[in-house]
Structure 1
């Protein structure tokens, strides 16, 4: 009689794969038993008495093989091979409302050839806000990376790509209740991975946050607060001295963007303003259950905005020109290149060929930001600056021979001049639209510092959201439009 035990032990995240290549036993009395674990007390996977090309795989990192033969007939026995197979931890999945998720094995090293997909979702009417608290990936952005898709699958548009170890600008907002996050690693080179945090916004009937160029406005419905056991008197923002206005139906915070503890940073090309609404009914500073309430609020200023002005030209009389954009930038005419005296008359009148001085600036002064004048276009139609237009400036490059830049891309304002002209002889109206980009002053690689770029991979319209302000119309005195007359390229006139 003969007993033989063989225990196959792997290490770490491995399983054991065992294959019998030959089995020749006395089928009545001799056998092989394979157990899924480190001893014969674990589950029996199979008892083998003849050859049938049997293969086994452990659920853990250990298999036990028992060979038994009695005291009578003997045969050749058996031959088997085994290998240890590395296993990958499960990753990805369906996540709801708010929480944390991590790369496989975080904070230990993730594995090669990972492909993990997280499907984030929130209640109807909500949006998802995603941030990365830690990112440590292989220093090859085409090797290991995270992609974020604005929808319920990877087929939706990509909001961004995260790689290396930069968490400074990695914050993303969904446009709907869904967000999809994909982590991919290649066949070589790993690191510690990432940690991500996601939260859901309030629904429209619970609260909202809005921004103008000067103020942040936070509105919370009283019914929503009551459902949490809170009242308006319990609430404050990061500066406890900033308190809300309270009515029977809503609680409203309204304060300038640079006050009440509001934080400002550049995130994915946008200037972002964030704050927090907190609640604490205790006046002694003691922590209570309700003081754990925290609502993150924020808004952003688009880096690309459009401001428009208009002017009216006549043959003999000197000019007055004015205009004001809304939102992030304003535009106005000045009397000279000193830019000390602004012209407020509206509408304005100018002589043909008169030198016009223009300043575009942030509506709210901020020395940490630079303003870059990217494009200025003249058109007879305030709703169409593409089909019938004349370029003064395009992609930071002058297109008109009279265009002269004084300051652009290095301060919170841009200044330029050009000569007044009659545009499209069959029209009596002229509008001027300027497109502005806003950059952090300390970013020397920003678009603001690159100046003229004749070729762009894609237009700004596809990269940024735009705000448009329209002023006008203006009548060109002394000239009447020709009814029914077509407009041709040759009808542009610089005089």
Structure 2
């Protein structure tokens, strides 16, 4: 085996029914946190699971040449462990451990519709939404205990995945609905499904994360936080020592990324009803196309026709007046020339 003079066939855990296996480098055993004689120790902020490997002798053996082995081993877990990630990596699974509840977890998902059966795919994050679009979200609790109840004490929105961000907006607070668009859908005692209308924070923010504080309770206790429900006065909440429940844990989902709605294109009739006008204060600039309503366009066309006709009439009138003046000048010139010719003839006759 991996250690000289040690035969893995003569090793066992605290519970001898749990066997060990080996390869060229390791001796291995497989067990859960509550089997094979594993014990649990609460060390404040940590939970420690302990077991041991030790050698044994066969009852029929009188002598032995194998070394005596005793190897203690343990696994230490923080009471709060969250599996999280950033930006477009899908984060949905959270695992926690507490002494009274062992290991338990939550799944936080965004769904495609109100049936809460089709999850948004991991590669679709960040989830692109439009303002006032319906968002469907669901929380599922998973526990080794046979009967527990899930309670969502609060849900709030932040512009990032930090639940302690000073900029936030409550959807649910102290078990009470705070946003008028939030609607709770029926589900079993370990699920919580809800919907809301999409919104965004004022300012240069285009993303929203949803963080919820969740609790697991043993059923049948009138003093548990799950049984209390909505508390308009949180100071009246009873102490946890009176009931068996977990502490509140934060779970986060997102981001929701907002996209602008495409502006509707105008009908073809209105689209062709634009006119080009030059800005008189900016000579030489490109003309600006200004769309107008149909009635305004008709008025503009009538004014164009009227202006054109009026200009034509003025031009024609001026041309006619010029012709008349020219005719008058020619007439007077011819009359004067004729008079001069007559005077010349009279003078000629007189001289003769």
* Higher normalized contact order (CA 8 Å, seq sep 6+, divided by chain length): 2
Structure showing the higher helix proportion among its residues: 2
TM normalised by structure 1 equals 0.37
Q: TM-score, length-normalised on structure 2?
A: 0.49
The structure with the largest strand share of the pair is 1
